[in-house]
Amino acid sequence: MGLHQKKYLQEKYDLDNKTYWSLTWRYHKTRSRVREKNKPSYYGVPTGITLEEICFLWNRDKAYLLDKPTIDRIIPKKGYVFDNCRFIEAFDNYSRADRTNSIKRLSKPVQKFSISGELLSTFQSAHEAARQTGCKRVKISEVCGGVRKKTGGYIWKFKEG
């Protein structure tokens, strides 16, 4: 992106220097995250949006009025293409994300046992167990990993198989 393009975009979309570089960073972030294999919800998603289109969306969506603007894919599988992107508040973008598939892939089921060794419950993940029992997730994971003996008055183990 040369100096001429920077000047052209700043004038056409009335962008100050800080906003221009912020949008440039967002452009590069959309391009790089689809190549990261450790982010299954992004990897391989098509990206065809240009920096100029991001600048256009910035003004169209009045993103300069938002507290923490982020680029949102309206239909996640469709990817970062112009007609599928918009700027919304970061909190709204985060809260509408579908994490069910990534949680199922990355989490390990855990089992809750009484002190006497009786199986009481099985949970999809330590996070779910923490939510339902009130125990701390980190401590549940520590018990499962052998760092602690028990937490919340229970013995916890990763489900085998």
Look up residue 56 and give its two tokens.
Answer: 């256009």
What does the alpha-carbon distance between residue 76 and residue 56 come to, in Å, rounded to a whole number? 20
Q: Which of the following CATH numbers is that of domain 107-158: 1.10.10.10, 2.60.120.10, 3.30.750.80, 3.90.550.10?
A: 1.10.10.10
90 confidence band (pLDDT: 50, 70, 90) = confident
| CA-based nearest residue to 26, from 76, 87, 83, 78 | 87
Residue identified by tokens 């294999």 is 37
Half-sphere exposure of 142 (CA within 13 A, CB side): 11
Predicted local confidence at residue 115, as pLDDT:
94
| Section 61-78 average pLDDT | 88
150 pLDDT higher than 90: yes
Range among 12-16, 31-35, 119-123, 126-130 rated most confident: 119-123
CA atoms within 13 A on the CB side of 147: 6
114-149: pLDDT as tens digits: 999 999 999 988 888 998 999 998 999 999 989 999
Q: 157: which 2 tokens? A: 């183990």
Query: pLDDT band at residue 32, thresholds of 50, 70 and 90?
Result: confident
Which residue from 106, 98, 105 is spatially nearest to 76, judged by alpha carbons?
Answer: 98
Show contacts of 103-111: CB within 8 Å, 24+ apart.
103/127, 105/40, 108/144, 108/158, 108/159, 109/158, 109/159, 110/140, 110/144, 110/156, 110/157, 110/158, 110/159, 111/156, 111/157, 111/158, 111/159
**pLDDT value of residue 91:** 84
Helix (H/G/I), strand (E/B), else coil: 149:
coil
Residues in Cβ contact with 68 at an 8 Å cutoff, skipping those fewer than 6 apart: 89, 90, 91
Q: What pLDDT shows up at residue 39?
A: 62
For residue 76, the model assigns a pLDDT of 79
- The pTM score is 0.55
pLDDT beyond 60 at 102: no
Task: Using a pLDDT cut of 70, give the percent of the chain over it.
Answer: 86
Q: How would residue 103 be classed by pLDDT, with cut points 50, 70 and 90?
A: very low
